[in-house]
Every structure is written in C-alpha cells, then in structure tokens.
Amino acid sequence: MVAPLKVGLAGLGTVGASVVRLIDRQRDVLTLRCGRPVEIVAVSARSRGKDRGIDMKRLRWVADPVELAADPGIDAFVELIGGDGNPARAAVTAALKAGKSVVTANKALLAKHGVELAALAEKHKVALNFEAAVGGAIPIVKTLREGLAGNAVARIYGILNGTCNYMLTRMEREGLSFDECLKEAQRLGYAEADPSFDIEGHDTAQKLSILASLTFGIRVDPGAIYVEGITSITTADLEAADELGYRIKLLGVAVKTDKGIEQRVHPTMVRKDSAIAQVMEVTNAVTIDAEGIPPITLVGPGAGGMATASAVVADIADIARGVRAAPFGRPSARLKVSKKAPMQRHEGGYYIRMLAVDKPGTAATIAKRLAQHNISMESIVQRHSGPPAGGAEKGKGPVPVIIITYATTEDAVRKALAAVQRDKVISGRPQLIRIEKN
C-alpha cells in the first residue's frame, strides 16, 4: 500500500477541529479518492487542555507551530492560526523551506505575503494551496487556476463577506436601520465586537486581491484596490433600489479595461433578476465573465467551521494525489504589478439620491449641471416630502429626488454633484451608488 500522507496541523479553533473531524469521518473515501490514506499525526495550538470535541490522545502535540512546520515526521503542513504576521508567516515559511507542501485558510497572510510565499513554494517544488482563504466552501480558486485555465476572463465580481450580506439582507427585508442591524449581527456572532474590518470593506478587499491575482496574473496587493464600505447605506436606498428593480450588495469587482485592471470594493446596485442578487443572508457568491461561455456564478457558505474545513481537506487531498500547480496560476516571477486605478476613470451607471430644496428652478438646475457633464438620465423619481414639522410651511421641506444615469464616468458624476451643491439647491451630501452590469 502507498504510504499515508502525514499532516501536521497548527490551529485548533473551530476550523481546525472541524478539519480533524472531517478527515476522521471521510477516512475511507479519502483513501479511495487520493490513492493513499490521509492522516493528521501532529498538532499545535495555544491551549493543549481545551476540550475541542476531538480525540487528542492519538495526536502528537508540538507546542511551537514553527517547530511543527519543519518536523521531519510530517509530509504536509496546514496553517489555521490566522493573521498576516508571526507565528503564521514563520510557520508557513519554515514548512516551505523544509520541502513540505502547505495548506492555509489565511487570507490576510496571502494578501500581504502571498507572492513571496508562492516564490518559495515554487523554489522548493511544493504546493501552496489556499482554497479556504476566499469564499469558504466555494471552489473558486480551483475554478480559476485549473477549471478555466484555457479561458480569458474579462471580469470577476462577487459577494465575499457574509457579515455585510447578512446586514443588507435584514435591512432590506425588515426595514432595520444600519445600527439596529449591526447590533443584531453582533448578537448572533456574524459581526465582531469591532466590525470595521468587515463593514468598511477591507475583508472583501483582501479576498478580491487574491482572486484578481489568479484571474489576471497580477501581484496580490490590497493597496491597489479602491475600498468603500456599507456604512452609508440607508433603508431609503434599499427601498428605492427595490422599487427601481435593483438590490444593493457589497461587491468586490476586478475587471480588465483599456487602462489596466480596475479593482474596487463598494456597495453596488445589481438587477434583481441577476444571479448575484438572489444571494442572501451570510452566503457568498462569485461570478466569472469568461470568453466563449456564459457567466458562471458559484454560490455557497463563505464561512463556518465545516464549510471552511471542506475547502481545507480538498486542498490536502490534492497534495495526497500529487497535484502541484503554481499557487497563483503562473510563475510568481511573471505576476505583473497592478497600480491602483483612479475611480474617477470608472465608467458605468449610477444611482444618485439627493434632498432637493423645494423651490422653483431646482429641478432645472440639477438637470442643467448633469447635462453640462454629458450625463444622461435613464430615470428620475421625485418622492413626496414628509409632513411639515413644528408648524413649518407645507411643501417647503427638502424633497427626495432619485436619479438613475446611463453609463458615464465617476469624474463627471462627482463634478456635476459638486456643482449642484455649490448651487445650494440640495440639502446635505448626495448619496452615490454605482450600478454593475449583469
């Protein structure tokens, strides 16, 4: 019989414990599929005595994850520690230098050091697999790196953060305010005590940087991505989107343009009849626009112990089979640098919501400023203002006005709105949401 693949695993949190359980449960099937047994033989974690619901007695304990990574008694190393620094970085580096293939779910580590680690894996002719780092159980990395190896991809976009998708779903369905929904998400464990990394778009940006590298052959660089979170989204925007046939999602988008690769994360209006608009709650989804085939949308759980463990075990199985591929789909030395594309150059349709001063000439002034910047309106909706407060004269309050534009540039829209604000025909700052073609 072929010798088993002996695995060392660092990090025994929810995902790590689920990996151990899944391999135990699927032991016979994995042996058949891989042509050899897969065995976790040694582990490392911060606490040895913690009850994780798994049998620890049969597993060799190694206190230092870096020591485990270089242990001659293992063939492959699984890093589930997290974080972009040590000990995760040191452990992965040690394993690769020792000639051991690595599986990681660590998006932060890959976003910051992915190219460096890929070069190390290539030098030592071992695998660096990271399916679980993006989209949880969705097999997006293998799809891009292997399944679509013969297709040119024009655009990839998706819902990559379950917290934000859950909040936008609840706000839309139940009319909850952003703050109310955030508190509920924190209570249910979908949002952290400090939710800024999720709701401000940075988690999505890290994942998008990995997908963009796999898709377009560019270096992983979250700093090259325009990032905007969901904190400005209100129930008024969600209601207006619904009436206009749209839904609002936080999307990560990477698209090939004449000016290079445009990478952006921001709230986005998508048509309600599109596949991505149907993805609700904490679910993730990725859509790929590839040459010669209709768009492909992959949908699945983006987080959770067993969902992430599923992707980790699939990567381990590839190593057991002897599958080796350049981590980012091509030699790391051939990955190109992608500069941050100025959003002023972005082209597309826009949703604009503003509070217009209720006086003669306001609508004409707004239309004039848009026309001066060659912005054509697809639709315009004027809502009735609420009842006057405190005896104010009826009809003198600001009137919500919602405009959907045809394709134009970000620069033109922002200049037109700045001119409208200088004209003092609107109250406060206008809301601006980009529309993504589906």
CA-to-CA separations, 429 to 96, 244, 425, in angstroms, rounded:
52, 22, 11
Q: Is 320 helix (H, G, I), strand (E, B) or coil?
A: helix
CB-based contacts of 311, cutoff 8 Å, min separation 6: 105, 131, 132, 136, 137, 139
Q: Residues 142, 207, 259, 340: which is the catalytic one?
A: 207
Q: Which of 223, 217, 248 is nearest to 235 (CA)?
A: 248
Q: Which of 358, 320, 162, 144 is nearest to 250 (CA)?
A: 162
Task: Decide if 57 is catalytic.
Answer: no
Cβ neighbours, 10 Å, residue 122 = 18
CB-based contacts of 96, cutoff 8 Å, min separation 6: 102, 117, 120, 121, 124, 126, 128
The residue ranges of DSSP E strands in 226-295, in sequence order, are 226-227, 246-257, 260-271, 283-290
Distance CA 160, CA 222 (A): 14
User: Tokens representing 264?
Assistant: 């952006």
- Residue 340 is given by DSSP the state P
User: Tokens representing 169?
Assistant: 């779903």
- Active centre residues (catalytic): 207
